[in-house]
Amino acid sequence: MSMSQQSKSWAGSIVSLGAAASLWLSLLGAGRCGALADELQLDSRCRPLPHQLLGPFAHVRDGVLAIESESTRVSSDSGRTWSDPRPLFPAGTPITVSNERALLRTREGVLIAAFMNLKERNWTWKNELHDAPGAVLPTYAMRSTDDGATWQDVQKLHDDWSGAVRDMIQTSDGRVIFTAMKMRHDPGRHSVLTYSSTDQGQTWRPSNLIDLGGRGHHGGVTEPTLAELREGRLWMLIRTNWGEFWSGYSHDGGRFWRVLQPSGIPASSAPAMLQRLASGRLLLVWNRPWPEGQSDWPKSGGDGLWSDTPVSNHREQLSLALSDDDGKSWTPPVVIARQAGTWLAYPYVFEYQPGLLWLTTMQGKVRVELREEEFVEADKE
């Protein structure tokens, strides 16, 4: 059954923070918690991680590396203990890595990171203009050939305000691709693109810009995630304000995205994480548009400030689904974490061992591990 066919049983609506919608940079923080938030509730198959690091994570010779805003840490004992912070850059370097970042170890052993530089952030939104003229939050990339001891080829790829860097993959032919964003103006809105490298992150090539219009500091299309399909195409799932993700497809390794269409996957206005697992399955972690068992959620936007379209920003539940057929059909979604009054969003997924996943969120304190097969077996019962 496709996600569009399942939409009546677990679909969504489109979200609301009220008339005084917070600005884009509020989403760079660790989350939004209500004063009377309930306790975090986890699915029984989710076990707390032995650490509180956000990640993302990558395998290195000595174990697992976690990247933070100004340093990295390494664990050699499954995340139970971590090394002292190791600075990313020499003292005085004007770079602070954003919480929204991507990290990958290539098959050749090179670590590649992409992020926004918070040291250069300049947010200029003006309600009367429906725009943020001259807003700056640059996208950067860098790489390490010594398991994160030092970083080189640190380069700014654009100055435009970048809402998020969310995901990075290496394709079957060795190309490295990560997702990025650029703010557009007159009116202010967001667009997405990817950068690709064929030389292990030494140089980068931008794709075409995907701009589907809109207006508002959360308007437009934002925060994509991506995976390579078995047939060779790349599939990108893009956050929208239209009640579902938009799909983008590339037939040439992310150089151009020429097929853009609704995905049929109901979603809140929040980003997903789409990941190819060692088993070959696709994993999707995301926020559905309304709470499980309900069919509505307060909406925000519609005024051209948050967005042109009223939208659900439901983030109090985080869901998971798996696909054996490259996204044509999915297991019934499972709410793996819920907490009333708290945003549980912006997930990272790290396959620590085949089938053993670490799942963390930038918004909310979800820090869990889970076994893929426990969710597959439940679907077969």
> What pLDDT does 379 receive?
57
Has residue 106 got a pLDDT over 90? yes
Residue 212, CB half-sphere, CA atoms under 13 Å: how many? 24
- The type of residue at 2 is S
Burial classification of residue 19, based on how many CB atoms lie within 10 Å of its CB (0-12 exposed, 13-18 middle, 19 or more buried): exposed
**What is the per-residue DSSP string for 330-363?**
-PPPEEEEE-TTB--EEEEEEEEETTEEEEEEEE
Q: Domain residue spans in the chain?
A: 3-380
Write down the pLDDT at residue 38. 84
374: left (phi over 0), alpha (psi -120 to 50) or beta: alpha
| 158-189: pLDDT as tens digits | 999 999 999 999 999 999 999 999 999 999 99
Residues 43 and 334: beta-carbon distance below 8 Å: yes
Distance of CA 88 to CAs 122, 149, 291, Å? 23, 8, 40
d(CA 268, CA 315): 7
Nearest by Cα to 290 from 7, 10, 17: 10
Nearest CA to 11 out of 218, 261, 312 is that of 312
Distance CA 67, CA 97 (A): 9
C-alpha dihedral (151, 153, 154, 160), degrees to nearest 10: -150
- Answer yes or no: are the C-beta atoms of 53 and 73 closer than 8 Å: yes
Query: Which one-letter amino acid corresponds to residue 290?
Result: W
Average pLDDT of span 115-128: 98
CA–CA separation, 351 and 91 (whole Å): 33
- Model confidence at 24: pLDDT above 80: no
Average pLDDT taken over every residue of the chain: 91
Q: Helix or strand or coil: residue 52? A: coil
Count of residues for the chain?
Answer: 381
Sequence-distant (≥ 6) Cβ neighbours of residue 213 within 8 angstroms: 189, 220
- Check: CATH 3.30.70.3190 for 3-380? no
Which residues is 193 bridged to in the sheet?
180
* Per-residue pLDDT tens digits for 195-245: 999 999 999 999 999 999 999 999 999 999 999 999 999 999 999 999 999
pLDDT tens profile 268-307: 999 999 999 999 999 999 999 999 999 999 999 999 999 9
Q: What is the average pLDDT across 31-56?
A: 82
Cβ neighbours for 209, distance < 8 A, ≥ 6 positions apart? 182, 191, 192, 193
Q: Contact, 380 vs 48, CB < 8 A?
A: no
pTM: 0.90
Rounded to an integer, what distance in angstroms lies between the CA atom of residue 71 and that of residue 63?
16
Could you tell me what percentage of the chain is helix, strand and coil, using 3-state DSSP and rounding each to the nearest 5? 5, 40, 50
Residue located via tokens 């709410």: 335
